[in-house]
Amino acid sequence: MRWLLATVLCLLVIMAIVIVVLVLDNRGDDKARRAEAAATATTTGATSPYDLTELPVGADRDVVDDAAFVSIFTPDDSGRLTSYGISSGLPTAKRLIEAVKKADKVDPDDAATALGGRAAESTITFVLPNRETITFALYLDQGMIARGVEVWKPGSDFVALVGTAISGPE
């Protein structure tokens, strides 16, 4: 009788362990199914009225003339990346737009020497009214901007203009 009771108890313990393992295993599958369902449910293919579209690399720089505002993303004094937005109606933004439009193209060899293959820490983005953007890498130490493999050098006051733009209201 004792052996029968011990055998029944062992079988019950084994069945409990199997049930716990199955439940825990199924729970992981359930999380995966929920994650997959959420991913497919939120990918509608429709655009939001808040979506921005970056213009292709070969886009004409003159489109910056139509910018609704300018966004500069650069490290602040403490080294933390900070975004500064400037309305295109402000004098500083107008001067930045003109500086980018009139910037001189830099020879690729000269650009490679000046920039030394470093990645830019800052960007300047011009946001157009139709929610298209044109973004340039901003090399403040060299006073240059880049987009794709092309590099330009705006006028000598460009770095000062950027400094004015990120310093606060005029």
CB atoms within 10 A of CB 139: 21
Range with lowest mean pLDDT among 13-17, 19-23, 31-35, 137-141:
31-35
Q: What is the pTM of this model?
A: 0.69
Q: Is 29 exposed, middle or buried (0-12, 13-18, 19+ CB in 10 A)?
A: exposed
The more confidently predicted of residues 32 and 138 is: 138
**Residue in the block written with tokens 């800052």:** 122
CB atoms within 10 A of CB 52: 13
Range with lowest mean pLDDT among 15-24, 29-38, 60-69, 78-87:
29-38
Helices (H), the chain: 2-42, 91-101, 108-115, 158-167
Q: Per-residue pLDDT for 41 more than 70? A: no
Distance of CA 26 to the CA centre of its chain: 37
Q: Per-residue pLDDT for 33 more than 70? A: no
Phi, psi of 48 (to 5 degrees): -90, 150
Closest to 150 (Cα-Cα) out of 125, 126, 115 = 115
